[in-house]
Structure 1
Amino acid sequence: MNKQVIIKRISIPWRKLLGTITLLAMLVAMLPAPALAIRPPSSPSAPSSDVHQSPAAAAAIASQVGEEVIEVEPAVAAEIQQKGTAGYLVYFRDRPSLDAAERMDWIQRGRFVAQQLQSVAQSSQKQVRAYLDNKDVSYRSFWIDNMILVEESDVTVFNELKRFPEISIIRSRRTEMLIEPTSKESLGINEEIFAIEPNISHVQAPDAWALGINGLGSVVSSIDTGVRYTHQALVSHYRGNLGDGTFNHNYNWWDPYGDHPTAPADDNGHGSHTMGTMVGDDGGSNQIGMAPGAKWLACRGCNTNNCTDAALLSCAQFIAAPWDLNQANPDPDLRPDVVNNSWGDCGQSYDPWFRGVVDSWRAAGIYPVFSNGNSSNCGYSSPPPCGTVGNPARYGNVTGVGATGQQNGAYATFSLRGPTDNADPENGGDYPTIKPQVVAPGSNIRSSVNTSDTAYEGGWSGTSMSAPHVTGLTALIFQA
């Protein structure tokens, strides 16, 4: 369904709605402009400039091919010198102009962005792919950012790649961490179970529902550990539910690890918990989510507590143009409105390895939400030092979400802090380096888990519990 039709069809009292939903930004004095102007977002900045300005690139080893300089992260050169082989990420210079996407409707926009990205990747990667094929090197090509992931090569291939002028930078491979809760305290035996969870009531989401704004027509997504799709609070909200007791998982689920190739699953519980906070509602005594009228899809970017670069990039591409269970027939018409990310690193400086992906999502109208990170994940004291927000939450063009108490606006002692060294020149105003831009309840959060179709757990605390509040809020705004 065309999203613009939904917007035109609904008439609501704006003053009351805005007064209701903006409480979610409790400690931060402003809700960042990207959240208020989701459709369309501001023009994405070219990732090539980020490459040349990053600290990693500044310290990189440079190789010159004609007038072009190819940068190599020192970690790649060190690994291949030590071991004789290495895997690495190869980034290409060319990137299409996607500015025109802002003036298109939802369907045209997604198709245009996907087609442009695919076309440029196909043409600019052609010679390098032919070379790697000739050398029998295993690799994966991506278009969500114009790059190739080389699984492993020897030093000869590595050195030869530095002779291709279409390559801009070679980076080391990344393994990111799942931003796990700081605690998972069990509910006390006498603890009351509320029909609407206190954290949901605190941000006044039920007042938005009373106005007819519950996320209807919006689609949320997550890159996490997966989802138990049969859970009673989630199953009716799953986009793959056909409503007659059958399911179509094509275009609604992808597991790049291959452990659960035919239907959504969650071996950890984290992804089921975060999805519950986005949309969960069993129709009775378990109203755990912000946008119970929205639908969801998911990609398993993290198999346990680790998230490989290959899986994250595969998921990123799936979000922009979901495909069937055979990883064929991608369809950008079926992309979600917003993507929740509860993964990242502990870096204290800007790392642009995922920046091109975020730029592509934004060009397609997909809103990126990232957890700021927790002190316990990175070995920091509580409260953590300033400037500890990890990547990609550190990026100036995403909404980084911090945590507060369950029913108060006190900043949680475990929640990582800014400022960032990657400023937001478009929407930052007088505070372009502020992180987090938004905070939400992240302490003692109760939601769905993966152990059974009726299982819930409270006591979960972390910024991973906060971010899905904002993702759900975004679904409400999309409907409104």
Structure 2
Amino acid sequence: MASFLLTSVTVLLLSTTPGGRGSSYHKISPQLSKSLTKQEYTANVFVTFSQGTESVLATISAKSFPSRSARLDQVHDSLVSHAASTQDDTIQLLAQEGHPYKSIWITNQLYVPDATMDLVIKLASSPDVAYVSQEEVIPLHQPVYRGPVRKRGKVRPSGEWGIMKIKANEARSLLKSLGQNVSIVVSSIDTGVRGTHEALSSNWRDDGYGWYDPYDKSALPRDKDGHGTHTMGTICGSGGIGVYPEAKWMACRGCKGGCTQFALLSCAQWIACPTMANGTKRDCSKAPHVVSNSWGGGGGRNWFDRAIGVWHAAKIIPLFSNGNEGTACNTTGSPADSKNNVISVGSTTVDDALSFFSSVGPTFDGRMKPDVSAPGSNVLSASHKGDSEYQPMSGTSMACPHTAGVAAILLAGSKQEMEYDRVLQLLADGADTKSLLSGGRGCVGVTDKVFPNHQFGHGRVNAFNSLTKLIKESE
């Protein structure tokens, strides 16, 4: 029966689109075509247009701007205008059909919920449309271990083990000695944050632009999972759990159980040009400097690349956890393996060995990943269960925020605005390698004793070393 229905769909597609085979059927993803073999089925779909965002971003990158705010406004305004012009005919079609949609300017796509087979055929028939695909749910990089929630007890003056290992406190002291007063805003796309937690309540950016929830439109930061509270605590929590507690934080709830593509792209768009929690009063000047991401799926996928490209144009530094698929070669996930350049982070233990779960490169097209590694095994951070509760977790999700915090320190220590390439180079140049324990592993002829490699990347991050290099090179 399924075979008959699939044949029927194919015949219908070929007979109702101009030009027959090749005019529209090839524009519909195989997954969506399979789903639509059920005549009663509807699907949430993305309409991707042939005109991408690359030419717009290239024009912006070639310009100089008097301020960060001016650049951010230009990125937003140019992409909104580009989306309006390329999406107009398809939007008119949807209006005629009386069907709801959301325009996503950051990737020049339309999100169309509950689309029928007939509507998908019409959408694919437009010459402006490159393809129509079904929305997917992208997994969190779930921790491989979640310890018991507990009161923290005695606070370690020098910080938790990961903070000590990467010499975050030494870097913060050095930063203070410079006398620079640069305000850095960090962000995450995750399950949310318990904004009232004692380690995070004082440095939430509470000006109305510090929180967005595309699922429930909640007014204040919240987290029903705990993953996001834990990661933000590691980036900038106070009391010795965070790398850089002097930073302000903002967060977008991209994951609710899983992470829908629409929510993730809505968050990516909000990061590039924030609104208030209710989606109004857009103010691009509120965009953060760093965005940490501890989610992703299987490797070799590029659906998020356009969004990453916009972050680069906006000078927002993107970081991704490398994945928890173990130490076999070619296990790096996406978007950590994005060709659009993200800082991907593997996980290390308290003994400076590679964590048993940490995904390994190379990417499907042979590039070296991860870029760097950071503490990720048995990391204590804030819990969503209570304002004074803490929990240990293990995963590359815990490693990525350590590195995001170091990136924030470097941005704060620079006398001028830094771009992605410069931040990555400083992380790589300052990384520790001599203390790392070899597991005798190697991929494509590169052993984990030679740096960079596909296990540790350039090494385990060291905030003090990287900041010291920045200062010396700026003198």
Alpha-carbon distance in structure 2 between the residues aligned to 1:188 and 1:170: 47
| TM-score (norm: length of structure 1) | 0.76
Answer yes or no: is the 8 Å Cα contact 2:149–2:385 preserved in 1. Answer: no
Answer yes or no: is the 8 Å Cα contact 2:152–2:389 preserved in 1. Answer: no
Q: 2:214 aligns with which of 256, 262, 275?
A: 256
Q: Which residue of 1 aligns with 2:363?
A: 420
Q: 1:368 offset after TM fit, Å?
A: 0.9
Alpha-carbon distance in structure 1 between the residues aligned to 2:132 and 2:385: 42
Q: 1:465 offset after TM fit, Å?
A: 0.3
Which one-letter code corresponds to 1:315 in the other structure? C
Q: 1:337 aligns with which of 289, 293, 298?
A: 289
Which one-letter code corresponds to 2:410 in the other structure? I
Q: Which residue of 1 aligns with 2:398?
A: 465
Q: Which residue of 1 aligns with 2:35?
A: 79
Answer yes or no: is the 8 Å Cα contact 2:150–2:389 preserved in 1. Answer: no
Does structure 1 residue 316 correspond to structure 2 residue 268? Answer: yes
Which one-letter code corresponds to 2:319 in the other structure? V
Does structure 1 residue 198 correspond to structure 2 residue 161? Answer: yes
Answer yes or no: is the 8 Å Cα contact 2:211–2:221 preserved in 1. Answer: yes
1:420/1:367 CA distance change after superposition, 3 Å = same
Q: 1:403 aligns with which of 347, 358, 366?
A: 347
Alpha-carbon distance in structure 2 between the residues aligned to 1:68 and 1:180: 41
Does structure 1 residue 288 correspond to structure 2 residue 251? Answer: no
Answer yes or no: is the 8 Å Cα contact 2:322–2:333 preserved in 1. Answer: yes
Alpha-carbon distance in structure 1 between the residues aligned to 2:154 and 2:98: 61
Alpha-carbon distance in structure 2 between the residues aligned to 1:302 and 1:339: 15
Answer yes or no: is the 8 Å Cα contact 1:224–1:299 preserved in 2. Answer: yes
Q: 1:71 offset after TM fit, Å?
A: 3.0
Q: 1:173 offset after TM fit, Å?
A: 1.1
Alpha-carbon distance in structure 2 between the residues aligned to 1:211 and 1:190: 28
Alpha-carbon distance in structure 2 between the residues aligned to 1:89 and 1:296: 31
Which one-letter code corresponds to 1:288 in the other structure? I
1:368/1:470 CA distance change after superposition, 3 Å = same
Q: Which residue of 2 aligns with 1:161?
A: 123
Which one-letter code corresponds to 2:183 in the other structure? G
2:320 aligned counterpart, secondary structure: strand
Q: 1:317 offset after TM fit, Å?
A: 0.9
Q: Which residue of 2 aligns with 1:223?
A: 189
Answer yes or no: is the 8 Å Cα contact 2:152–2:388 preserved in 1. Answer: no
Q: 1:264 offset after TM fit, Å?
A: 0.5
Q: 2:138 aligns with which of 167, 176, 183?
A: 176
Answer yes or no: is the 8 Å Cα contact 1:339–1:367 preserved in 2. Answer: yes
* Residues 379-425 of structure 1: per-residue CA shift (max 9 Å, x gap): xxxx442111111112131111110013x3311110111111256xx
* Residues 45-66 of structure 1: per-residue CA shift (max 9 Å, x gap): xxxxxxxxxxxxxxxx999979
Does structure 1 residue 277 correspond to structure 2 residue 234? Answer: yes
Q: 1:373 aligns with which of 320, 323, 328?
A: 323
Q: Which residue of 2 aligns with 1:327?
A: 279
Q: 1:145 offset after TM fit, Å?
A: 0.7
**Structure 2 residues without counterparts, runs of 5 or longer:** 1-12, 414-475
Q: 1:216 offset after TM fit, Å?
A: 4.8
Q: 1:227 offset after TM fit, Å?
A: 0.7
Which one-letter code corresponds to 2:349 in the other structure? G
Q: 1:310 offset after TM fit, Å?
A: 1.5
Answer yes or no: is the 8 Å Cα contact 1:65–1:165 preserved in 2. Answer: no
Alpha-carbon distance in structure 2 between the residues aligned to 1:190 and 1:300: 26
1:149 aligned counterpart, secondary structure: strand
1:360/1:65 CA distance change after superposition, 3 Å = farther
Q: 1:172 offset after TM fit, Å?
A: 2.1
1:271/1:233 CA distance change after superposition, 3 Å = same
Q: Which residue of 2 aligns with 1:353?
A: 303
| TM-score (norm: length of structure 2) | 0.76
Q: Which has the higher contact order (CA 8 A, sep 6+)?
A: 1
Alpha-carbon distance in structure 2 between the residues aligned to 1:137 and 1:218: 42
Task: Work out which of the two has the higher radius of gyration on C-alpha atoms and give 1 or 2.
Answer: 2
* Residues 86-107 of structure 1: per-residue CA shift (max 9 Å, x gap): 3221111222422344433311
Q: 1:177 offset after TM fit, Å?
A: 0.9
1:221 aligned counterpart, secondary structure: strand
Alpha-carbon distance in structure 2 between the residues aligned to 1:413 and 1:121: 44
Alpha-carbon distance in structure 1 between the residues aligned to 2:137 and 2:240: 35
Which one-letter code corresponds to 2:212 in the other structure? W
Q: 1:218 offset after TM fit, Å?
A: 0.7
Answer yes or no: is the 8 Å Cα contact 2:150–2:390 preserved in 1. Answer: no
1:439/1:257 CA distance change after superposition, 3 Å = same
Alpha-carbon distance in structure 2 between the residues aligned to 1:140 and 1:356: 17
**Structure 1 residues without counterparts, runs of 5 or longer:** 1-60, 241-247, 376-382, 424-432
Alpha-carbon distance in structure 1 between the residues aligned to 2:331 and 2:110: 30
Alpha-carbon distance in structure 1 between the residues aligned to 2:70 and 2:59: 10
Answer yes or no: is the 8 Å Cα contact 1:216–1:293 preserved in 2. Answer: no
Alpha-carbon distance in structure 2 between the residues aligned to 1:156 and 1:170: 13
1:343 aligned counterpart, secondary structure: coil
* Residues 109-143 of structure 1: per-residue CA shift (max 9 Å, x gap): 11111111110011111110110121122322110
